[in-house]
Chain A
Amino acid sequence: MNAKLPNVDAQALFHYVLRLGDLSLILGQRLGEWVGHAPALEEDLGVANIALDLIGQARLLLSYAGEIEGCGRDEDKLAYLREQGGYFNAILAEQPNGDFGQTIVRQVLIDAFQLELYERMTGSLDERLASIAAKSVKEVRYHLRYSSGWLVRLGDGTEESHARVQSALNTLWPYTVELFAEDDLDQLMADSGIAPRLSAVHAAWSARLEGILADSTLLRPADRPHLWHGKRGQHSEHLGYILAEMQYLQRAYPEACW
């Protein structure tokens, strides 16, 4: 590996890269549940497209995490053989798909987060992360165009669709707090020039959301304290089921290569 490793504790960087990779992986996994069952053929294609990008990002990030760790774990060992306490995605990503509106709300919230994060991470001192961010930001920009396009249509569509997405927004909004709750690891990454300050990401995200919600004629719910942190390995009850399904073959046939 020739990429320059920043002068930071490998264990910390490993953990941080997993946060990014797991967010993409779990969200991609959720979107995969839709394929073949979306409201229209174009949406089957659109959702599959985003899922595909997210799995691609997860592969790059988990592979990199495995290299940082240096214990011989590759993308698949990390994806398929970690227990849920070792998963560091924000809890928002693992929330159920619900109806198409809830999926779209979850998508907008995370797309906008990833967009603001990756835009800033293209300047990371960690060259590998900078290049992954540069590739991902193009994808994420398209994802947000898709998801926010739908949020506007649903929010400003019929009375029913408006009510449905407003309710989904109210349900999911509390989980966004975690995305921006800066902990020691986030601070360390920002101090080392590896990741942007979450406060900056939050401000940009907030402004962007403001515009999208206005176009969608949706009300921004109030922030509420959020005490449970997926990015530290504390998860909702949903992740266990996601992993049970995702990891089933690898767990059932531990000797096998696929």
Chain B
Amino acid sequence: MYTQGLDGQVPDTAAHTDEATLEQRFLARVDAEEKIEPKDWMPVRYRNTLIRQISQHAHSEIVGMLPEGNWITRAPTLKRKAILIAKVQDEGGHGAYLYSAAETLGVSRDQLVEQLLSGKAKYSSIFNYPTPTWADVGAIGWLVDGAAIMNQIPLCRCSYGPYARAMVRVCREESFHQRQGYDLMLQLARGSEAQKRMAQEALNRWWWPALMMFGPSDANSTHTGDSQRWKIKRFSNDELRQKFVDFTVPQAKFLGLAVPDPELRWDEHRQQYEFGPIDWSEFDQVLKGNGPCNAERIAARRNAHAAGAWVREAASAYAAKRRQPSANIAA
């Protein structure tokens, strides 16, 4: 509607309109909370920022299938197995529609996948941590999906229409995942001593990496300024992290688990939790490829891609034959 309106204006004014005017008009639309759609004019930097962010998000969903997929064959009840398969499948689905959203910006999924496999593109560092026990599956659902929701709910109002719409759907499913993960943890926390230990150790493993999911603290965040101006990002990393801590600490208490932060305390005056310093050197190392599972995660994606090459080739060969039935008959 407003998009079509703008499209209609473009032919008569475009010739006389310079970049600055277009950008002004773009920013006015963003300020007015209008959605920017694929065919609309947008600054190159806006487009590139979105491509980077959406594709990283898509890659994260795909790589994120691996740590939890690790437990599909070992899930301890058939119901939990079904829930886990469905969850991992959902993550793949999120990847698929995020790739589609990125494609509206003029890149192809193949290009993006190539960037993931070559190591050029990043994905969320959280998935470079291992899932040694069943409790890690619960901790991921509870904490990682929980943190993802905090990050993504504001993205449902992102200025770029296709991304915002994808996020609405994704968030709905992520909140299921978060509840299922918490339920898994609750079962462990109310279980045997061995199960409680398993749950506590998983919380110890995932707590700090989950806090790192929100990215560097605001003082050191490079992309925040433009993203906030363009209404891609609505809250700062630190604001979102604080929200997550305030939301999650009471849940840990309810589970009877200890958050592995000796400095954690309730600040009565600010009405929020104060927490200890994050070890950003660990974050930097994982980002550089030195996390516990970076190599395995990329290797798993590369292996799947390489082992599936003959399948994809066969599918295109078959499709090509169907497109030219007469050529086949003639030959």
Contacts and interface: CB of A to CB of B under 8 A. Distances in A.
A170 B47 CA distance: 52
Interface stretch (B24-32, B90-98, B243-251, B263-271): B90-98
Given A41-B92, A101-B311, A56 B82 contact: yes
Interface in B52-68: 62, 65-66
B314 A161 contact: yes
B236 interface: no
A250 interface: yes
B9 interface: no
Nearest to B62: A41
Nearest to A161: B314
Does more than half of chain B's interface fall in helix, strand or loop, or is it mixed?
A: helix
A38 B313 contact: no
A36 B66 contact: yes
A235 B321 CA distance: 42
B17 interface: no
Given A51-B85, A160-B314, A42 B96 contact: yes
Given A49-B89, A59-B79, A35 B65 contact: yes
Interface string A30-50: 001101111111111100110
Interface in A205-258: 245-246, 248-250, 253, 255-258
B95 A41 contact: yes
A123 B99 CA distance: 45
A39 B74 contact: no
A14 B73 CA distance: 25
Q: Most chain-A CB neighbours within 10 Å: which of B93, B303, B314?
A: B314
Contacts of B315: 153, 157
A125 interface: no
Q: Most chain-A CB neighbours within 10 Å: which of B72, B79, B95?
A: B72
A69 interface: no
Interface stretch (A72-80, A87-95, A109-117, A129-137): A72-80
A91 to B, nearest CB: 19
A59 to B, nearest CB: 5
Does more than half of chain A's interface fall in helix, strand or loop, or is it mixed?
A: helix
Interface stretch (B162-170, B173-181, B190-198, B202-210): B190-198
B311 to A, nearest CB: 4
Contacts of A45: 89, 92-93, 96
Q: Most chain-B CB neighbours within 10 Å: which of A35, A38, A58?
A: A35
Task: Categorize the interface residue count of chain A.
Answer: 35 or more
Interface in B286-331: 300, 303-304, 307-315, 317-319, 321
Contacts of A51: 72, 85
Given A99-B307, A153-B318, A52 B86 contact: yes
A156 B321 contact: yes
Contacts of B307: 37, 39, 99-100
A38 to B, nearest CB: 7
A246 B315 CA distance: 33
Interface in A168-219: none
A39 B316 CA distance: 13
A254 B125 CA distance: 35
A245 B96 contact: no
Contacts of B65: 35-36, 44
B39 interface: no
Contacts of A25: 78
B81 A62 contact: no
Contacts of A160: 310, 313-314
B72 to A, nearest CB: 4
A107 interface: no
Given A39-B304, A153-B314, A258-B77, A253 B192 contact: yes
A52 B304 CA distance: 21
B74 A245 contact: yes
A122 B150 CA distance: 47
Contacts of B300: 36-37
A184 B195 CA distance: 45
B33 to A, nearest CB: 33
Interface of A: 25, 29, 32-33, 35-45, 48-49, 51-52, 55-56, 58-59, 62, 75-76, 79-80, 99-101, 152-154, 156-158, 160-161, 164, 245-246, 248-250, 253, 255-258
Interface of B: 62, 65-66, 69, 72-74, 76-82, 85-86, 88-89, 92-93, 95-96, 99, 134, 187, 191-192, 194-195, 300, 303-304, 307-315, 317-319, 321
Closest 3 CB pairs of A and B: A39-B308, A157-B314, A161-B314
29 contacts: A33-B72, A33-B73, A35-B85, A35-B88, A38-B304, A39-B307, A39-B309, A43-B308, A44-B92, A48-B85, A52-B85, A55-B81, A55-B85, A59-B79, A76-B77, A76-B79, A79-B78, A157-B314, A157-B317, A158-B314, A160-B310, A161-B311, A161-B314, A245-B74, A249-B74, A256-B191, A256-B192, A256-B195, A257-B187
Given A101-B311, A164-B310, 20 more contacts: A32-B85, A35-B65, A36-B65, A36-B88, A37-B304, A38-B308, A39-B312, A40-B312, A45-B92, A52-B82, A55-B78, A58-B78, A59-B78, A76-B79, A156-B321, A160-B314, A161-B317, A249-B74, A258-B77, A258-B187
